[in-house]
């Protein structure tokens, strides 16, 4: 019995880890095995037809891509700038402590509340209507705290001596940041940006009332109009369609395309990080 106890103990932890891996395996296996048969060139390159029961998901793909681009345009410049302020310019004061507390709290705000905020501010307050740009701005706000946190972490990894060397040869602080610090931190910043955007691309709740639509009949989105997106399309096909069983293969196909988009973005981030850590050595 005494000999067996270590195995039971070790086995308990292994069981926990195994269960978590099993979850990931089930998710991937189910989506790939049932989604792959639906995926064809036609599926990703044509409009939906016959009340969504046939055809492809092209407008949902273009919608998600455009939405992610707007999200990046809103969140990346402000996020990086705010991180530069916190790490390069600001000293530890009550103001920076408040800013940091705000960032932490913003990243804990539920995404559905960002949706309500986008509805009240962009859609109704600023009269932007339910549109691609309203939804993009909403997701931009949601992404901002993550971009700031990851960028600041990347900046913090650059040693002070690098900055001092730039200042010592006569660069102003801005020139040192622009020409020395940012290029050195770029791989870390990019990793954070790509991971954040992959999360934004999969978000559904914040865009539900700010601009996403179940069906539009043109593939190229006008930024002042409603749009289709992959996560929302999946939600509608899975729960709201009048003949759910008929569209189930399409729902699986959409889920697989969505998860592939997200995973490709993630793998890109992993690759940047991996390559960077190799260069460091």
We find the least distance from the C-beta atom of residue 141 to other proteins, in angstroms, to be: 6
75 closest CA partner among 123, 154, 131, 137: 137
**Shortest Cβ 99–other proteins spacing (Å):** 6
Least spacing, CB of residue 16 vs other proteins, in Å: 3
Question: Whole-number minimum distance, CB 40 to other proteins, in Å?
Answer: 20
User: In this structure, what are the phi and psi dihedrals at residue 55, rounded to the nearest 5 degrees?
Assistant: 85, -165
To other proteins, the closest distance from the beta carbon of 164 in angstroms equals: 16
- For other proteins, give the closer residue by CB, 125 or 220: 125
Q: How far is the CB of 6 from other proteins (least distance, A)?
A: 7
Nearer to other proteins, 142 or 220 (CB): 142
94, 100, 143 from 107: Cα distances, Å:
20, 11, 8
As a whole number of Å, the end-to-end CA separation of the chain is 48
- Residue number, 17 or 162, with CB nearest to other proteins: 17
- Taking the complex as a whole, the smallest distance from the CB of residue 255 to other proteins amounts, in Å, to 5
Give residues with Cβ within 8 angstroms of 142, minimum separation 6: 111, 114, 200, 203, 206
Helix (H) or strand (E) holding 148: helix 132-156
List alpha helices for 3-93, DSSP H.
Answer: 5-35, 41-45, 58-84
> Residue 16 or 69: which CB sits closer to other proteins?
16
Nearest to 227 by CA among 114, 69, 61: 61
Count Cβ atoms within 10 A of the Cβ of residue 125 and give its class: 0-12 exposed, 13-18 middle, 19 or more buried.
exposed
Cβ proximity to other proteins: between 53 and 96 the closer is: 96
DSSP string, 189-200: HHHHHHHHHHHH
Q: How far apart are CA 205 and CA 112, in angstroms?
A: 5
**Please, which residue, 157 or 220, has the CB nearer to other proteins?**
157
Residue 192: how many other CB atoms lie within 10 Å: 26
Of 93 and 161, the one with the shorter C-beta distance to other proteins is 93
Angle between helices 244-280 and 58-84 (to 10 degrees): 40
């Amino acid at each position: 019995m005494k000999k067996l106890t270590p195995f039971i103990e070790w086995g308990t932890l292994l069981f926990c880890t195994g269960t978590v891996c099993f979850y990931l395996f089930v998710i991937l296996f189910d989506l790939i095995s049932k989604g792959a048969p639906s995926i064809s060139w036609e599926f990703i390159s044509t409009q939906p037809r016959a009340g969504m029961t046939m055809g492809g998901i092209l407008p949902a793909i273009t919608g998600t891509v455009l939405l992610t681009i707007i999200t990046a345009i809103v969140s990346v410049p402000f996020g990086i700038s705010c991180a530069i302020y916190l790490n390069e310019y600001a000293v530890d004061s009550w103001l920076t402590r408040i800013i940091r507390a705000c960032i932490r709290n913003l990243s804990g705000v539920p995404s559905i509340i960002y949706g309500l905020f986008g509805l009240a501010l962009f859609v109704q307050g600023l009269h932007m209507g339910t549109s691609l740009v309203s939804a993009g701005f909403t997701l931009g706000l949601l992404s901002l705290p993550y971009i700031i946190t990851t960028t600041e972490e990347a900046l913090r990894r650059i040693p002070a001596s690098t900055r001092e060397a730039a200042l010592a040869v006569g660069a102003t602080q801005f020139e040192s940041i622009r020409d020395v610090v940012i290029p050195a931190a770029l791989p870390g910043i990019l990793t954070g940006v790509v991971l954040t955007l992959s999360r934004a691309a999969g978000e559904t709740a914040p865009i539900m009332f700010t601009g996403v639509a179940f069906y539009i009949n043109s593939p190229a989105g006008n930024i002042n109009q409603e749009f289709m997106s992959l996560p929302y399309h999946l939600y509608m096909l899975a729960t709201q369609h009048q003949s759910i069983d008929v569209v189930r293969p399409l729902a699986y196909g959409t889920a697989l395309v969505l998860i592939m988009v997200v995973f490709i973005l993630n793998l890109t981030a992993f690759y940047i990080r991996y390559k960077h850590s190799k260069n460091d050595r």
